[in-house]
Amino acid sequence: SPAPSKSLLSTPHEALAKHFGFSGFLDGQESVISEIVSGKDGLVVMPTGGGKSLCYQIPALCFSGVTLVISPLIALMKDQVDALVARGISATMINSTLSWAEQRERLDDMRAGKWKLVYVAPERFRAESFLNAIRGVEVSLFAVDEAHCLSQWGHDFRPDYLRLGKALEKIGSPQCVALTATATPVVREDIRSVLKLRNPFERVSGFSRPNLALSITGVDKASHKDERIKSIVAAHRTGIIYCATRKKVDSVSETLASWGIKCIAYHGGMSDQERDRAQEIFIQRKVDIAVATNAFGMGIDRPDVRFVIHYEIPGSVEAYYQEAGRAGRDGEAAVCEMLFNYADTRTQEFFIEGANPTAATIRSIYQYLLNEADREYEVHRTLDEIASGADVKNPMSVGSGLTVLARSGYIQRFDVPGKRTRGTRLLKPEVLTSQLQLDESSIEEKDRRDREKLKAMVEMCYSRVCRQQWILTYFGENGGKPCGNCDVCREEGSDEIRPPTTEEALIVRKALSGVARMSRRTANGWEARFGRGRIVQMLAGSRSQEILSAKLDELSTYGILKEKGAGYLNALMRSLHDARLVITINGDYPLLTLTDEGEQVMRGKKSFSMNWPDTDAGPKPDSL
Ligand code: ADP
Ligand code: ZN
């Protein structure tokens, strides 16, 4: 559909000059802004600190009506509004911290055309009265910040964001722009469809962070982790140490304290006031080190963070890069180091299990609530009490189980005045005892995707491709040249991604043919039958029991790369994997087969580039 033409009060450059002291636009901003002022819907993917806010603030100043900005965090919202007001821009916010009277007044002012920008918390759209109040207002632009919150596959799903699609329709489908720092294709697709973006422009830009020295260090002992922390802290002073669990936050901050190093601790188990205070202390530079779970960070605007340490592997590349990306926002050099121990992936698997409870677990929780309910159908139990009462192994699945039950209308959760535990009310319990139907397939689907994301994160740890290139490729931005700054690039003798010589191309095609012989071709593509180890044995012409008893020595590809040796072939398989020519299928045991691209390369129909292994590459854990 053609873009509606809007009359502009000023040009973007005029608005920039009048209200912002900036000398010009940052990379990516100008083209996004000109698309928006031309009236188009859009999807803007820029990393944290990339300057997304200006992308809707400038158009807001150019348009005659009001721009509604949907933003999930009240603290963040307040900072933004304060900054705008300080620049002489009429902006305000509407959220739950305001009384009804205040909200009403601001809505009235909005109708009277007083505001250029109004920041709105997503849960406001629950109220029909709020939507009615907006109807009739000239909304020039609807800007959805942190738009990944509407994807169930994103790391920060917020159910209120799902309502935005309907809300948009109800207020007359104004021009809509979504902004996020999460670039994975699935999330982008979700954003486009939930918000029903009309022929949107789309920009993924600015993910490369050349000032960050990314590295992943394999460590097998906790004491080695502490040694690394000690030297990084001594060298870089200001930074964040991310830990996977609250317990680890406590123990790491105690370790720092024992060294006489001041830090704040931050995790979800602290009260809101404690957390706010800790965050303030860090932002105001009274203390320069934060030890925190991933609850810390959204909205932290401390640009001089010089290091980010991941004490354990995070659950996804998205989470990793977002957290690592909090370093060096001032553009100066910063280091990001992940302390990788494969055993820590178990913690992440535990989180995934907790976040995606099985139907049996949910039923068991529900049965427990039924037994415990009083005459008002109310239950007052802590999550731990429910976990042990309902005999749930993973205590985290109680919280998510209750969320599922609440979302499907079986229970209601409510705050108990003066208490931190929430109460649960059963809704029509006698009807529900018979049949409890849950959206099992969607939980399973999410579980599967969460596991895939973790797998990608683990693959990155073992990969010997430039970290920066690996991440950009993962996010769908052109990978460009090796960064020269990460551990892989710095490692001596490391190769860059390049096309093969004629001889190398032949080796790759032979190896892929071997993979094909050891897979099954089905109507749906390639089906894996063997793991990497067995395929390497076959290619190397091994006469092991496993090879002979499976008659793999009778394959035409048996021993076809014998002269290369098993060490090289293992590394080659890993490189083929990084280049996405082969893929691992995880069942009880990881199996390997061809990708479509791998098949084309095998048939000589497609050219390719990859990171070439050293000829003397040694063995690595077979866990991939
Ligand atoms: P994001 O929302 O993408 O995380 P912000 O919009 O908060 O990023 O911008 C990040 C920082 O860059 C802010 O401190 C902002 O003031 C600054 N900034 C944005 N645009 C410009 C510009 N054109 N020139 C200079 N600084 C800018
Ligand atoms: Zn690199």
d(CA 217, CA 213): 12
Q: What is the per-residue pLDDT across 568-595, written as a single tens digit (0 to 9) for each?
A: 787 788 789 888 899 988 665 568 999 9
Cα of 175 vs centre of ligand 2, distance in Å, is 40
Of 539, 601, 548, nearest to 570 by C-alpha is 539
The pLDDT score that the predictor gives to residue 407 is 79
The pLDDT score that the predictor gives to residue 4 is 58
Cα of 612 vs centre of ligand 2, distance in Å, is 15
d(CA 33, CA 19): 16
Distant-in-sequence, close-in-space partners of 215: CB < 8 Å, separation ≥ 6: 335, 336, 337, 338, 467, 486, 487
Number of the ligand closest to the Cα of 467: 2
Residue 570 Cβ < 6 Å to ligand 1: no
Residue 123 pLDDT more than 50?
yes
d(CA 361, CA 18): 58
Cα R_g (the chain), whole angstroms = 27
Residue 348 DSSP SS3: helix
DSSP string, 422-477: EEEEESSHHHHTT-----HHHHHHHHHHHHHHHHHHHHHHH--S-HHHHHHHHHTS
Q: Find the helix or strand (DSSP H, E) in which 73 lies.
A: none
Residue recorded with tokens 């600015």: 206
Of 478, 459, 458, nearest to 468 by C-alpha is 478
Q: Could you count the other beta carbons within 10 Å of the beta carbon of residue 369?
A: 24
Q: Which atom of ligand 1 is nearest to the CA of 48?
A: 4
Q: What is the per-residue pLDDT across 313-358, written as a single tens digit (0 to 9) for each?
A: 999 998 999 899 999 887 788 899 999 999 999 999 999 999 999 8
Query: Residue whose CA is closest, atom 26 of ligand 1?
Result: 22
pLDDT band at 523 (very low <50, low <70, confident <90, very high): confident
d(CA 265, CA 425): 34
Q: Which atom of ligand 1 is nearest to the CA of 53?
A: 6
Task: Retrieve residue 167's tokens.
Answer: 């809300």
Q: Which atom of ligand 1 is nearest to the CA of 23?
A: 24
Residue recorded with tokens 């000032």: 211
What is the average per-residue pLDDT within 603-620? Answer: 70
Cα of 83 vs centre of ligand 2, distance in Å, is 36
Greatest mean pLDDT range, 44-48, 202-206, 500-504: 500-504
Whether ipTM exceeds 0.85: yes
What is the average per-residue pLDDT within 130-150? Answer: 93
Of 419, 410, 382, 411, nearest to 398 by C-alpha is 382
The pLDDT score that the predictor gives to residue 172 is 93
What is the average per-residue pLDDT within 101-110? Answer: 93
What is the average per-residue pLDDT within 192-218? Answer: 90
Residue 54 Cβ < 6 Å to ligand 1: yes
Strand partners, 42: 177, 201
Q: What is the per-residue pLDDT across 401-456, written as a single tens digit (0 to 9) for each?
A: 998 888 778 899 988 887 777 889 998 777 665 556 666 777 888 888 899 999 99
Cα of 126 vs centre of ligand 1, distance in Å, is 31
The pLDDT score that the predictor gives to residue 298 is 67
Cα of 409 vs centre of ligand 2, distance in Å, is 49
Tell me the best of 13, 16, 22 to mutate to test the pocket of ligand 1, counting ligand atoms within 8 Å of each CB and taking the most. 22
The pLDDT score that the predictor gives to residue 297 is 78
The pLDDT score that the predictor gives to residue 556 is 94
Residue 180 Cβ < 6 Å to ligand 1: no
Of 380, 461, 458, nearest to 426 by C-alpha is 380
Strand partners, 310: 242, 338
The pLDDT score that the predictor gives to residue 597 is 92
pLDDT band at 478 (very low <50, low <70, confident <90, very high): low
- What's the mean per-residue pLDDT of the chain? 88
